[in-house]
Amino acid sequence: MPLTEELRLIQVADLHLGAGREHHLDNWRKVLAWVERERPDMAVINGDLIMSDPDTESDHEFARTQVDRLGIPTRFLPGNHDVGDNVLFGKMAQRVTPERLARFRRHYGEDHWSFAAAGWGFVGVNAQLFGSGGLAAEAEQWAWLERSLAQLDGKPIVLFTHKPLFLDFPGEGDHEDPTMRQSVVDAASRARLLALAHAHDVRIVSSGHKHQTRTFSLDGIYHFWGPATACVNGPPTTLHYGTREVGFIDYRFRSDGTFEHRVTGADFLFRHENYIRKLCDPDTH
């Protein structure tokens, strides 16, 4: 089917690649081999490209080199490990700064973007800017998002964001527990995002970050939590909202407004248990 009628797009998230470090690279090589066989039209890299520290220049250089090996058009979004965590609602010691945003853009290009293909609109937002406490880049992104969604009116829209919007329900408050709080978009930004989503026919919100697979529909929107290619997080005894598995999402969008998805990779990627590595070396991701 011509590209004008169908777009096959993969969402790959939480690669956690590091220069000079082999862990997680075995799975990335398997992703590269899969793309070589399947030849999707394009990829969205949905955050956390690098191992853990947003200020490690060599990791950014290494991750960009590895993603370029896909050999297909690619769009990038930052995660907390790429640019720092949300200023007001994050958990990591490193928070978003203009300098970290500039580094991301230097290595990967735009940190938010939109385009149309196969009758659909595709919008990627920098979730790390939400709750910034007044960074100019956040206000600029909100203004850009409103314009971009309006320009795509008449098309069903997919919204890509590194962090999911919520854990249990849209109206939940910001959690007191830092780990729970940093898992999702803050409550005020979420309400604003969902209002825009419902006003502009957003059909899908596709995220990463949690290293879990989860899918549900609510109020006309499908919410997809894409797994990580790197590893699963947290011991099996902790609370998980989705399935602890590795992989990525293989989407097909059609010009008649329909779509298909398949979560793939769990059957051929290594299901690395990250908590075991952290028990042995707390400084690793």
* In the predicted structure, residue 2 carries a pLDDT above the cut 70: no
Size of the chain, expressed as the number of residues it contains: 285
pLDDT (0 to 100) of residue 284: 64
**Would 252 be classed as within a structural domain?**
yes
CB 187 within 8 A of CB 237: no
Q: What pLDDT, in 10s, does the model give residues 35-83? A: 999 999 999 999 999 999 999 999 999 999 999 999 999 999 999 999 9
Q: Binning pLDDT at 50, 70 and 90, where does residue 283 land?
A: low
pLDDT digits (tens, 9 = 90+) for 5-14: 999 999 999 9
Judge whether residue 114 has pLDDT over 90: yes
Model confidence pTM above 0.95: yes
Instruction: Provide the residue range defining the domain that includes 21.
Output: 6-280
Structure tokens at 279: 């028990």
Residues 6+ apart with CB under 8 A from 277: 23, 231, 284
Strand partners, 263: 249
Write the burial class of residue 128 (CB in 10 Å: 0-12 exposed, 13-18 middle, 19+ buried): buried
* Alpha-carbon distances of 278 from 233, 283, 285, rounded to whole Å: 10, 7, 7
How many distinct helices (H) and strands (E) make up the chain? 8, 11
Residue where the block lists tokens 């949690």 = 210
Among candidate residues 64, 62, 100, 70, the one with its CA nearest the CA of residue 82:
100
Domain assignment present for residue 1? The answer is no
Q: Is residue 285 part of a domain?
A: no
Domain assignment present for residue 176? The answer is yes
> What's the total number of domains in the chain?
1
For residues 214 and 220, what is the distance between their CA atoms, to the nearest angstrom?
Answer: 17
**What pLDDT score was predicted for residue 278?**
86
Residue 68: which of 35, 116, 97 has the closest Cα?
A: 35
Alpha helix segments (H runs only) across 155-225:
178-181, 187-199
For residue 1, the model assigns a pLDDT of 37
Angstrom CA distances, 159 to 112, 226, 267, stand at 11, 13, 27
Is 155 inside a domain boundary? Answer: yes
Instruction: Provide the CA 85 distance to its chain's centre, in angstroms.
Output: 14
- The encoded tokens of residue 239 equal 């609370």
Residue 217 lies in a domain: yes
Are 27 and 269 a contacting pair, CB within 8 Å? Answer: yes
For residue range 81-97, list pLDDT tens digits in order: 999 999 999 999 999 99
Give mean pLDDT, residues 224-242.
Answer: 96
The larger pLDDT score, comparing residue 151 to residue 4, is at: 151
What CATH number corresponds to the domain at position 242?
3.60.21.10
Vertex 93 angle, CA 91 and 98, to 5°:
100
Instruction: Provide the edge-to-edge strand list for the sheet that holds 74-77.
Output: 74-77, 42-46, 6-12, 248-254, 259-264
35 contacts 66 by C-beta, under 8 angstroms: no
